[in-house]
């Protein structure tokens, strides 16, 4: 397989992780472990152009996350950013796997470990910043800047 010249693409989106409400998009798989450590959640979150849930949906953030620390709010996350909107990225994915200290202030960083379609042979990083977090429901809106090298 001949590879073309590598290029860098910057993508900017928001995803909604909804644990509560009639349209929940994240489902705990073992909701009652001792404390939060070990809690696993499957997610199929909407990926939006803007932070509002009624903005344009461009894809889904599908995967699994779990509380991986006994001492702080750190998750291990495996997510596929699946692009579903019409356009050049439709049907392509970017895969992210890493540690996410969700209560850290400012921007958090996770690695891009692969991709498909337009993002074949992907590598890079994702910057995450929580825009909204509801302590009562666990619902969150997360801003994502994806910087991905691909062919």
Report the chain's mean pLDDT, rounded to a whole number: 91
- Using CA atoms, how far residue 35 sits from 19, 67, 109, 137, in Å, is 17, 10, 26, 17
Q: How many CB atoms lie within 10 A of CB 39?
A: 17
CATH class name, domain 7-150: mainly beta
Phi, psi values for residue 119, rounded to 5°: -100, 30
* Ranges of each domain in the chain: 7-150
Q: Which of 38, 73, 42, 39 is nearest to 60 (CA)?
A: 42
What share of the chain has pLDDT > 70, as a percent?
95
Q: How many CB atoms lie within 10 A of CB 21?
A: 9
Confidence class for position 129, pLDDT limits 50, 70, 90:
very high
- How far is residue 107's CA from residue 126's CA, in Å, rounded to a whole number? 10
Q: Which residues pair with 126 in a beta bridge?
A: 110, 146
Q: pLDDT digit string (tens) for 5-27?
A: 899 999 999 999 988 888 888 87
Compare 30 and 80 and report the one with higher pLDDT. 80
Q: What is the pTM of this model?
A: 0.89
């Amino acid at each position: 397989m001949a590879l073309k010249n590598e290029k860098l693409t910057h993508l900017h989106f928001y995803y909604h992780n909804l644990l509560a409400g009639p349209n929940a998009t994240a489902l705990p798989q073992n909701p009652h472990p001792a404390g939060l450590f070990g809690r696993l959640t499957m997610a199929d979150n909407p990926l939006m152009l803007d932070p509002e849930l009624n903005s344009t949906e461009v894809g889904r953030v599908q995967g699994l996350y779990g509380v991986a620390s006994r001492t702080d709010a750190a998750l291990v996350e495996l997510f596929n950013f699946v692009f579903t909107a019409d356009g050049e990225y439709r049907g392509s994915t970017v895969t992210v796997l890493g540690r996410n200290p969700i209560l850290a202030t400012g921007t958090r960083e996770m690695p891009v470990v692969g991709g498909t379609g337009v993002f074949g042979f992907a590598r890079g990083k994702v910057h995450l910043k929580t825009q909204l977090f509801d302590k009562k429901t666990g619902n969150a809106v997360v801003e994502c800047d994806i910087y991905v090298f691909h062919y």
